[in-house]
Structure 1
Amino acid sequence: MEMVLIILIINVVYVSLSTIRMLFTLKGQRYSAAVISSFETFIYVLGLGLVLDNLDEIQNLFAYAGGFALGVVVGTKIEEKLALGYITVKVISKYTDYSFSEMLREKGYGVTEWIANGRDGERLVMEILTSRKDQKELYNNVIAFDPEAFVISYDPQHFRGGFWVSNLRKQAKRRGEQYEYPQEDNLPGVDEEVIEEIKSEEDFSKYKEETLESEESNNNYN
């Protein structure tokens, strides 16, 4: 039983490191990935050796397979906590007044917006770049302003120039650091209590009222 537990733990650690190393590689952090890979290889050889030395006991094989599966889950959870890199979020809102985008800019987000035509008329489209550590806060602000907004996010592989990159470079310089480039009907991190707190803010109310007044004016004009 002790050997089963050892093999299980070793493989969980190995696959967790393997998952994190792969994610680091995809995000361009090659040196961090290289360091992790050295530990990963050592643990892999150690765990595989234990299994090969005890092939006569079937429970060791099950422990190895189970540790592999559990390691994928653990590695992914660790990466989510680290929240490495940046994401691009595209928001499509029925509110075509630019107060929505101004509110997000006031909170420090880099926003590019334009008016597009959808099935039901004009829509405000915004493209927002933010760090993954701030994505939950961004989602809460968007849903608080427009609960019916269509939101989609994806990882940018490379980016250069613009307000956001310039801002990141200045922040890194102030800290004395080297700048590095960086489910259905549900968004991760959306918290109803946080949304209500955002709605109670004075600045939020001002922008929201301007948007509603503009929408009413447009409807009366049409």
Structure 2
Amino acid sequence: MSSIDIRHIVFDIGKVLIHYDPNLPYSRLVPDEAERSWFFANVCTSDWNIEQDRGRSWEEAEAILIRNHPEREDHIRAFRRHWHEMVPHAYVETVAIMGGLIADGWDVTMLTNFASDTFREAQKLYPFLTLPRGVTVSGDVRLIKPDLAIYRTHAEAFDLDPGATLFIDDSAANVEGARAAGWHAVQFTGAERLKADLAAYGIQPSDAAPSLAAAAML
């Protein structure tokens, strides 16, 4: 693969650069594990949450659930209210890889399924999210991975050559979506595996500046 001319590197964010786990605040709010599992399977489901990533407002999202589960109003509203607790830390080693790529002059952008408002909140929590050349946020463009349209939108917005683009995402479905769009893509499982995947493309990022690693710990 090292003979392939990669010129653009695109990072996903959640579970690649920053940790995300809705269970973190809800383990306190709904201590019973069985009840909490039921809540995520039947009320604040993944399918419900992804629509905020597609651009639906939290007000509308909450209203839909509260109509069907009025007794759960406090727990429903807690999803947005306590969202910051769901992203408790950055993956420092991955952030260092991204920082090294930027320092080496690689063209780095980000493509993420994220609600518009929570992404801006994440940028304040983690300033390194402002370092790449730019980002496509699903909530802004009202498209989500793995829809082909969002990869094409990102490539057009940042003038990427799909055949010279390498995408990094933790989701196998999103990786396959990128490949269907003509990109190269690798599934993120950890920083060491990512280094090996980059090396297979002839890419070896230098060490990131200490200030970048410090920013990841904020």
TM-score (norm 2): 0.27
From the two aligned structures, give the one with the greater helix fraction.
1
Larger radius of gyration: 1
From the two aligned structures, give the one with the greater strand fraction.
1
